Structure 1
Amino acid sequence: MGFFRNNHTVQSIALLMIAIVSVQASASLAKILFASFPVLSISALRLFLGFALLAVFFQIWRVAWQQIRWVSILGYGLALAGMNALFYLSLNRLPLGIAVSFEFIGPLSVALLHAKHRYDLIWVGLAIVGLLLLFPWNQTQQALDPVGIFLAIGAGACWAVYILTGNRPSGISGNHTVCLGMLIGSCVLLPIALWIGTPIKVLELPYLLYFIGLAFLASALPFSLEMVALRHLSPLLFGTLTSLEPAFAALSGALFLSEHLLWTQWFALATIMTASIGCTFTTQLGKQKIEQQLNSLKQNQA
């Protein structure tokens, strides 16, 4: 049990898994709301209400404003805005699991850029195979919307920027970084939402409760957990572990939206999960081996 006890990497992986489940469950709720509200309005309100929840919880007024590195915060906030808006727009045109599969091209590219060992390439390659199996190649009657695919890939590009900017020091705590990033993202999207016309019924019950729940599950909780995880996980490990996103998305779509999958796509879920678990343990074992070698070297020098 010593492998897991007091281990920041393993704890960060657990937080990342909770964030993934939260995001994909919320995506099903968002897709249900698409029938009643403009997509960009849902995306903007998700970020703004998420910011409001975190601002109170983490006491944003205590932030050390003079220490903020605004370039990092702005990049993070713009990435959040693009990732959220483009993903919801693609989700309006594609099944949940398929949209996330295309979006995952972004973090997968980050993983490939940081791959250094042959095991890294094996796990990333296995994740690619799983993603290919998720696509309905042999169901021509369910043609994929090309605009939806383009939007999902754009969301993936923003996701890659989100990973990279989340790793940069912002001068303040990770929690306050998430708060300010979500504020910047909502400031970008809210004017667009107001321009296209946001129905006043968003303030009525039960819709307001739905939006608050969406903000918590889709933004406040997962972004906070991911920020903690990014502090202790390498871009390679974070990028490959997020290959679980399409798997959980497909399961969420099947459970809540009746978006049924082919048997090849169910097989893809197992393939992707195998890649994620393999990447986790080989990276962790490699880290332990390096630490043991350093400890042995210190003992020899002493």
Structure 2
Amino acid sequence: MPAPALFVLSGLTQYLGAAIAVALFAWIAPAGMAWLRILVAALVLVAWRRPWRLRWTGRDLALAVAFGAALGLMNVMFYIAIDHLPLGTAVAIEFLGPVAVAAITGSGWRERAGIALAAVGVVLLAGVTLSLGGEDAHLGLLAILAAAACWAGYILLGRRVATTGDGVTRLGVAMAAGSLVLAPFVGRLGAPVLGSWSLAAAVVGVAVLSSVIPYALEQVVLRRVSAASFAVLLALLPATAALVGAVVLRQWPHPVDVLGLVLVSGAIALTSVRRRPALDEAAGA
């Protein structure tokens, strides 16, 4: 299958998982759903990669815990956000995190233009959301901005994890650590799955669709496309999320939303050209 088709499939599975999660919020609180997703994905990755075969130092474990905590909090904030915001809007605003990292760590015209485009796009998206969503949208916007900040931290920590080798295995350990760190705070919110096999199966489906499949597919794509091509593909993700939101959740975008999505996508393409993220996007929302 061509790399672009694989990447589109990755985005569709990732946001289809998020759409299913939204449908489950009637039974499981968003924070609990996010925690369960991380826990299940961690179990799958740990069973698959068997991290005990690697040699771990104290520094490696500390980095994995910090990485996992950032990952876990990012997902919790994202799930809280999509309980109050359209899926496409939430994904676009969350990309402010990686765009900001690229702008801060870079020094070229692409980075400066990218952060300007992203800022305008986010303002448009937030303005429409506040005008149409009322008080309920404020919590969603705060949550997605927190998720964007966590994504920025996740990228910076993820790059350090990736340089130590075997990023997939270390991601599994990080996910396990993140689920343990968050368990005292949100673990009890996932309790409804204990009394329902159907809910438990749906949660497993969300974890596989949103974390395991996208990560595996993106690793294949990263080996087969140039950095410039990957940047263009990455820019498709907000539109992919908006498409899934419209088809599955009936969240039809406002015309101004479409303009905001286009601006954010342009910012992603500009700021991603010079980097090929191994972990930047894999376990994101």
What range is the shorter-chain TM-score in?
A: 0.7 to 0.9
CA offsets per residue over residues 121-171 of structure 1, 9 Å max, x none? 234433433333334539734325222211111111110011111100463
Q: Distance in 2 between the 1:215 and 1:209 partners?
A: 10
Q: Distance in 2 between the 1:241 and 1:120 partners?
A: 18
Q: Does 1:161 align with 2:153?
A: yes
Contact 2:118 2:264 in 1 (8 A): yes
Q: Mapping of 1:74-85 within 5 angstroms?
A: 74-85=65-76
Alpha carbon RMSD of aligned pairs, Å? 3.7
Match of 1:190 in 2: 183
Give the 3-state SS of the residue equivalent to 1:69 in structure 2: helix
Match of 2:28 in 1: 37
TM-score of the pair, normalised by structure 2: 0.78
Match of 1:287 in 2: none
Q: Distance in 1 between the 2:232 and 2:122 partners?
A: 12
Q: Distance in 2 between the 1:196 and 1:221 partners?
A: 25
User: In the TM superposition, what is the alpha-carbon distance from 1:228 to its structure 2 partner?
Assistant: 8.2
Match of 2:39 in 1: 48
Q: Distance in 2 between the 1:146 and 1:240 partners?
A: 31
Contact 1:127 1:243 in 2 (8 A): no
Match of 2:111 in 1: 120
Q: CA 1:232 to 1:74, structure 2 compared with 1: closer, same or farther past 3 Å?
A: farther
CA offsets per residue over residues 55-79 of structure 1, 9 Å max, x none? 2222333222348612321221111
Q: Mapping of 1:8-87 within 5 angstroms?
A: 19-66=10-57, 69-87=60-78
Match of 1:290 in 2: none
Match of 2:206 in 1: 214
Q: Distance in 2 between the 1:17 and 1:128 partners?
A: 25
Contact 1:40 1:189 in 2 (8 A): no
Count of paired positions: 272
User: In the TM superposition, what is the alpha-carbon distance from 1:254 to its structure 2 partner?
Assistant: 0.8
Aligned partner letter, 2:184: P
Contact 1:77 1:182 in 2 (8 A): yes
Q: CA 1:229 to 1:158, structure 2 compared with 1: closer, same or farther past 3 Å?
A: farther
Contact 1:102 1:153 in 2 (8 A): yes
Q: CA 1:209 to 1:224, structure 2 compared with 1: closer, same or farther past 3 Å?
A: same
Q: CA 1:81 to 1:265, structure 2 compared with 1: closer, same or farther past 3 Å?
A: same
Q: CA 1:94 to 1:69, structure 2 compared with 1: closer, same or farther past 3 Å?
A: same
Give the 3-state SS of the residue equivalent to 2:91 in structure 1: helix
User: In the TM superposition, what is the alpha-carbon distance from 1:19 to its structure 2 partner?
Assistant: 4.5
User: In the TM superposition, what is the alpha-carbon distance from 1:250 to its structure 2 partner?
Assistant: 1.9
Q: In terms of mean alpha carbon deviation, does 133-142 or 55-64 score higher? A: 133-142
Match of 2:171 in 1: 178
Contact 2:35 2:179 in 1 (8 A): yes
Q: Distance in 1 between the 2:222 and 2:160 partners?
A: 10
CA offsets per residue over residues 201-232 of structure 1, 9 Å max, x none? 56513x22211111112222334566788999
Q: In terms of mean alpha carbon deviation, does 263-272 or 253-262 score higher? A: 263-272
Q: Distance in 2 between the 1:181 and 1:75 partners?
A: 8
Q: Distance in 2 between the 1:177 and 1:56 partners?
A: 12
User: In the TM superposition, what is the alpha-carbon distance from 1:108 to its structure 2 partner?
Assistant: 2.1
| Runs of 5+ consecutive residues of structure 2 not aligned to the other structure | 276-285
Q: Does 1:149 align with 2:118?
A: no
Q: Choose which of 244, 253, 268 in structure 2 pairs with 1:252.
A: 244
Q: Does 1:95 align with 2:102?
A: no
Aligned partner letter, 1:40: A
Q: CA 1:123 to 1:39, structure 2 compared with 1: closer, same or farther past 3 Å?
A: closer
